[in-house]
A and B are shown apart, each in its own frame.
Chain A
Amino acid sequence: MKKFKFLVFHGLKRRLLKKSFIITNVILGLVIVALINIPAIISVFDSDEDAVKSTVIIIYETTDENYPLEETLLHYFNRAFEEDQYVVHPSLLIANEDFWDIEHLEVMLIFTGDLNQPNIDVYTKGQTSRNFILSNIQSFLNDYQGIQYANYSFIEPPTTGEPGTGIDPETRMFVEAIITVLMLPVFILIILTTQFLGVDIIEEKSTKAIETIISSVPAKMHFLSKIIVNIGFLIAQSGVLLVFGVIGFLISLFLQSGLNIDAMSLLAEFAERVPNWPGIITTLVLFMVLGTLFYLTLAAVVAAIATTQEDYQQFQAPLIFTLLGGFYIGIFLPIMGLDSAIRVFAYIPLFSPLVAPVAFATGVISGIEVMVIFALLMVFIVLFMYLVSPVYRVAILSYEETKFFKRIAFYVKKAFSSGK
């Protein structure tokens, strides 16, 4: 156990305190912070004419038609901003149900009855927007009436979800966009980690240092330590990226740019439109960890079978294609609406780490199915590790130069016929 701890700490130290890791992350940090703040930076150079404004329609059907309600309310909405953010929509002749499809039309208010006791139909896109509008209407009514009396009706967007999925197409598109954004770093990190693991093992093997190492620690311990080190690296790298994201976000808040409102709206909208977001994030993280474990195991065995760096580069191609396949399946099949195919791929352990979270997020599979797939994947990984660790033990000290599949067959035969 002492040696295992040493191998893990030594591996992590070598990986995380490497100059390349530190320099890459410093650059990455700057890029992330810059990307998050791009709208704020652009807005500094942008003219006001180009700014996209939210449009508002206010319909006042009351006896007191002479009261400048529209003008007054716009004043309330815009008073928090240096420049007006809310303007009147050019057309009033739209059907109520078209509100949801009109770009930049953020608010539609239909006042009926007396302004001392109005009935208000509130159309807003997003919870944050609704809260903002509501608080301003209440301020206005407070000033106008001395009290805040009104009868509100909050109009929700039509739900025409597909049967079984429980998610309407608009929300699904939104979720697909978000999940693609989330899956990309996951995919990149898994690729990066498998690369690091393979190079690490092949470096020890091609320099023959592996013989000295394996004479001191069991091959299985070496194998597991490499996987733990790389999962540790993945977690550390993800943490660093998250920290950069938070820093970037805090900077954008500090700058008080227009972005902070947009970004907050996005998050709030995600939370509002996808009520099961904690489940989606949990699923994503769990499958990411389990998937990394599986792909790292596969990469470790491939690296052990290879004898040189060139060999490894060649042998890892199927692994990269599998990962790439899983990523594209997760991204494109939901867009193409091939839900049955997504469901099938989600159950295939080779692809499920990348497909199952997407399938769950887009409503193709239920929470119970996620648990079943997770259990299946766990069983598969345990079996896979049980089968490949003897192969690793044999292959890591062998330098066969035969063709890949012949070599695998030879090592499998050797692993299960004899030997320590």
Chain B
Amino acid sequence: MLEVNNVELRYGDFIAVHALNFSIQPGEIFGLLGTNGAGKTTTFRVIMGLLEPSKGSVRYFGEKVGYHNVDEIGYMIEERSLLTKLTVKELLLYFGQLKSMSKPLILERMEYWLKYFEISDYKDKKIKELSKGNQQKIQFLSAIINEPKLLVLDEPFSGLDPINTELFVKVIREFQEKGTMIVFSSHQLDHVESFCEKIVVLEKGKAIIDGYIKKVKDDFEKLTINIDADVNADELRALPGVYLVKANTNGIQVKVESKEYIQGVFDYVKTCQNIMRFEVEQASLSEIFVSKVGGAREKV
């Protein structure tokens, strides 16, 4: 398992990461979220052992992450980090051998994955000749070619079309089934919501949301009520606990501070004509993210 224990990273007086705690079990997918500059990449660098924490520790199966166990880890950085003058084959051989893999094994896995991603024809093409999406595939491939026990993915879906995104998701799921620990960051919160069990949301290096997604959503009291009826928006706004009323194509969306205000809204809607829908739903991860990050910024 991977344990991040009270990790803090300082540069002089500046604290890049504040007392970060989380753990990942084999077969778990963990989401590290945050706005740009929140400290996600720095945290990944600490996990990878590229930066030494000022306080706390990162333990990989009880050991410090270092060059003795780095061959079991796959790392894909946010920006494309490929040697563009090399061919796909040369690059994968280079990165694979840096993970102490033998040439025949790299070639065998390379053939498999290139076929899987439907880019076998590009094997002898230079990286710079590939499209951005295909470069992203090669970068992802270089992170998984060693079949890692821990896969660190910084924005793996950035720049991908929906079809390729699904392809990546499928591969990540396959690794999860094999017992790989996966930690990744993404701005696409729907993906995080769809396959992460646990998350940490960072803002200015601090964890402002932390834990299992279900619990995070349960703990977030604000709710959304979707109404399709002849209601008056101003009257809705005047109800206690209502903080937002928004009209959309499917009717009216009402946001309330907590579940105790639902009854008041329901009582009002009952007085209206043509009631077609009254539906209460939990806030999405995206709403929680915006709400918490916005709140955290206001505090700063």
Chain A residues engaging chain B, CB cutoff 8 angstroms: 2-3, 6-7, 10, 203-204, 207-218, 397, 413-414, 417-420
Contact = CB atoms under 8 A, between A and B. Distances in A.
Interface pairs A-B: 3 shortest CB-CB: A208-B81, A216-B98, A420-B52
Given A208-B81, A215-B50, A217-B67, 16 more contacts: A3-B98, A6-B98, A207-B80, A208-B79, A208-B80, A209-B81, A209-B82, A211-B50, A215-B73, A215-B75, A216-B71, A217-B98, A397-B45, A397-B50, A419-B52, A420-B50
Nearest to B10: A418
B48 interface: yes
A204 B82 CA distance: 8
Contact of A215 (B70, B79, B83): B70
A405 B127 CA distance: 35
A6 to B, nearest CB: 5
A420 B49 contact: yes
B43 interface: no
A203 B85 contact: yes
Contact of B11 (A214, A218, A414): A414
Interface in B73-117: 73, 75, 77, 79-85, 94-95, 97-100
B79 A212 contact: no
Contact of A207 (B67, B83, B142): B83
Contacts of A7: 98
Given A10-B94, A212-B77, A217-B67, A203 B83 contact: yes
Contacts of A216: 67, 70-71, 95, 98-99
A420 B57 CA distance: 13
B50 A214 contact: yes
A211 B81 contact: yes
B62 interface: no
A80 to B, nearest CB: 58
Contacts of B83: 203-204, 207, 209
A223 to B, nearest CB: 14
Nearest to B54: A418
A272 to B, nearest CB: 51
B67 A218 contact: yes
Contacts of A209: 81-83
B12 interface: yes
Contacts of A211: 50, 75, 77, 81
A16 to B, nearest CB: 15
Contacts of A213: 98
A215 B48 contact: yes
B51 interface: yes
B100 A2 contact: yes
Contacts of B94: 10
Contacts of B98: 3, 6-7, 212-213, 216-217
Contacts of A418: 10, 52, 54
Nearest to B127: A207
Interface of B is mostly: loop
A297 to B, nearest CB: 22
21 contacts: A3-B97, A6-B97, A7-B98, A203-B83, A204-B83, A207-B80, A207-B83, A207-B84, A208-B79, A209-B82, A212-B75, A214-B50, A215-B48, A215-B49, A215-B50, A216-B71, A216-B99, A413-B12, A418-B10, A418-B54, A420-B50
Contacts of B71: 216
Contact of A210 (B81, B100, B142): B81
A413 B80 CA distance: 29
A212 B54 contact: no
Given A203-B83, A207-B83, A414-B11, A10 B97 contact: yes
A221 to B, nearest CB: 8
Contacts of A417: 12
A334 B95 CA distance: 51
A336 B45 CA distance: 57
For A2, A211, A214, A413, the residue with the greatest tally of chain B CB atoms inside 10 Å of its CB is: A211
A171 B95 CA distance: 56
A306 to B, nearest CB: 17
Nearest to A216: B98
B100 to A, nearest CB: 7
Contacts of A215: 48-50, 70, 73, 75
A212 B95 CA distance: 8
For A2, A210, A214, A413, the residue with the greatest tally of chain B CB atoms inside 10 Å of its CB is: A214
A222 to B, nearest CB: 10
Contacts of B11: 414
A71 B39 CA distance: 96
Contacts of B45: 397
A288 B70 CA distance: 38
For A204, A216, A218, A419, the residue with the greatest tally of chain B CB atoms inside 10 Å of its CB is: A216
For A2, A210, A215, A417, the residue with the greatest tally of chain B CB atoms inside 10 Å of its CB is: A215
B99 A420 contact: no
B87 to A, nearest CB: 12
Given A10-B94, A203-B83, A418-B52, A212 B70 contact: no
B144 to A, nearest CB: 13
Nearest to A413: B12
Contacts of A203: 83, 85
A3 B67 CA distance: 11
Contacts of B52: 418-420
A212 B81 contact: yes
A419 B94 CA distance: 27
A418 B54 CA distance: 7
Nearest to B81: A208
Nearest to A417: B12
A208 B73 CA distance: 18
A204 B81 CA distance: 8
Nearest to B85: A203
